[in-house]
Structures are given as C-alpha cells and as structure tokens.
Amino acid sequence: MRLAIGCEIDYEIADSATLIFNVEPMSGGRQRILNERVVVTPPFVTQQYTADETGNRFRRLTATGGALKLRYDAQIELDPVRADPAVIEEIPVAQLPPETLAFLNPSRYCPSDLLARFAAREFGEIEPGFGRVTEICNWIRAEVDYLAGSSDTTTTAADTFATRAGVCRDFAHLGITFCRALGIPARFVSCYAWQLQPQDFHAVFEAYLGDRWYLFDATRMAALDGLVRIGSGRDAADTAFATLFGNVRSGGVRVWADALDGDAAEPWTVDAVSVSELS
C-alpha cells in the first residue's frame, strides 16, 4: 500500500542547541520512499547520515535562539514480506546470525535479566515459534492497561510489569524484554501507523524468527502492514524522534499517516509481516 506520512515539530530554542532527529523512515526494498521533503524553519543547515547497523536515518542540526520548526513529508510504498505465522520458527541461540545476538542483551528500558524467571514460568512451556511471541503480545494486552500518562521517559519494562499500566512504548519494551529472556532477539521500532487513533508516533517491536525480523504490536492499535518503520534499536533510548542538546523547550508535535487514494492495508492482517532487510 502507499501512504502519505509526515510530521511537524516545534521548538523554542533559548540560545544555541543541537538537535538530532530520527523521523525519516528507513529506506529499503520493502519500504520504498517514493518522495520526501524536509523543511526546517528557519533554514538551518542539516547533516544527514544513516547508521550502518540499523539503517536509521538521522538528521542533525545546530540552531540558534528562537522558534524552530521541522516538517517532514513523504510518500511511502509498503510491500512487506508476508508469511504464514504457523511455519515461522524460533532459531536456537547456537544458530542465530551473529549480528542478532546483541539484541538478546538487556538494555536501559528492557531489563530482561530481571524478568527472566517470570518469562520462563509464563512462556517457557509454550511451543517455540512465531506463535509464542504472539502469546507474549496477547498476555501484555490482557494484563497491562493502556493508560495515557501512566508512565514517563524513565519507565522500564520492570516498572510496567509491576504497575500494569503503560503506553505503546511500554508495551513494546515489555514484549522485547520477554523475548530476550526466552532467547529470542528483539528490538524496538518507532513508526508512523496508519489508522492509529489518536495520531502520533507509534512504537512496536521486532523479533528475529525464521530468517528475518518480524513486526509485533502488543497494543493492537494499528495493523502491522500499515506501519511505516522509522528507526530501530535496543529500546526507546536508541530511537527517539528527537534528541535535544542545549536549552530547548518542546512545542507541539503533529503526526499523520494517510492511505493514498484507492490503497489500503487489509484490515488487521493475521499474516506475519516484515519490512526489514537489514539484519
């Protein structure tokens, strides 16, 4: 499907500040950027670079005092790999591609070491495979309340596990944490999400199964094949849409993701979906 996605972000800079944005989607064969445009106002020079490891596309700029606005617009064509969940297997640690192994390690918001015993108790007896990660998502959706304002930027998956409330970021962190505890590489993914209500940046996760990274959304708030993948990393710490250095006050954020005419994801696909070609 094809989508028109974008965002508009406002800041007030006190004197001078450096900002690093990660709002431009990953670019690859399964997620083609048909066209895109970044407008920074005032027109500060920006530097763009793409991280080897993840394909994340960053844009860095240094702004002087006053208002700053970044607007990003793109048209995206999604052509995800679709597969039958029933035939996708977990890969034993002994055979995992080396570049996936770091995604077994605990990270700032995904302390898989702390929740290992619970993960083994709750999910250890479930048949390994794609279906086990689906069960993890089912568990999260059943046991954790989606509650705006219930968490903040310091909230870890262990906090969410205790308090049983969170937002999309927390749902993703908890899913990642359980996967890693079971020996399944998992990583955080920020995205634009078609039909998300209300519109905002969304957070999901990917687990490495079979021979690729598959998308999972424990919130079930958006169809997997309507997700435009932005950045991936160990957790939210690696994929902030903006990282601010200096005295910066955040203004509003507006996000959109609209299907282009005549195009639509199949509603709530039950396929396994993957757009990542990079490891």
Binding mask 204-223 for a copy of itself (x = CB under 8 A): --------------------
- The H-assigned helical ranges of 130-245 are 130-143, 157-163, 168-181
By CB under 8 A, is residue 125 in contact with a copy of itself? Answer: no
* End-to-end Cα spacing for the chain: 24
Binder among 154, 252, 262, 267 for a copy of itself (CB under 8 A): 154
By CB under 8 A, is residue 260 in contact with a copy of itself? Answer: no
| Least CB distance to a copy of itself at residue 98 (A) | 4
Binder among 99, 211, 263, 266 for a copy of itself (CB under 8 A): 99
Is the backbone of residue 246 left (phi > 0), alpha (psi -120 to 50) or beta?
left
Burial of 153 (0-12, 13-18, 19+ CB in 10 A): exposed
163 in Cβ contact with 156 (< 8 Å): no
> For a copy of itself, which is the closer residue by CB, 41 or 48?
48
Site for a copy of itself in 232-251 (CB under 8 A): 233-234, 237-238, 243, 245
Here the tokens at position 247 are 């005295």
- Stretch near a copy of itself under the rule CB under 8 A, chosen from 5-13, 31-39, 100-108, 215-223: 100-108
Binder among 35, 94, 148, 198 for a copy of itself (CB under 8 A): 94
Query: For the CA atoms of 164, 167, 173, 174, what is the dihedral angle to 10 degrees?
Result: 30
> For a copy of itself, which is the closer residue by CB, 4 or 242?
242
| Neighbour tally for 206: CB within 10 Å | 26
**DSSP letters of 90-124?**
---GGGS-GGGGGGGS-BTTB-TTTTHHHHHHHHT
214 in Cβ contact with 207 (< 8 Å): yes
> For a copy of itself, which is the closer residue by CB, 32 or 60?
60
Binder among 164, 211, 266, 270 for a copy of itself (CB under 8 A): 164
- Stretch near a copy of itself under the rule CB under 8 A, chosen from 52-60, 127-135, 188-196, 204-212: 52-60
| Least CB distance to a copy of itself at residue 210 (A) | 19
β-bridge mates for residue 69, sequence order: 10, 41
| Least CB distance to a copy of itself at residue 136 (A) | 16
- Quick one: DSSP state of residue 266? P
By CB under 8 A, is residue 58 in contact with a copy of itself? Answer: yes
Give the separation between CA 196 and CA 179, rounded to whole angstroms.
25
Binding site for a copy of itself (CB under 8 A): 18, 20, 49, 51-53, 58, 60, 62, 92-94, 98-99, 101-102, 104-108, 110-111, 113-115, 117-118, 121, 143, 145, 153-154, 158, 161-165, 183, 233-234, 237-238, 243, 245
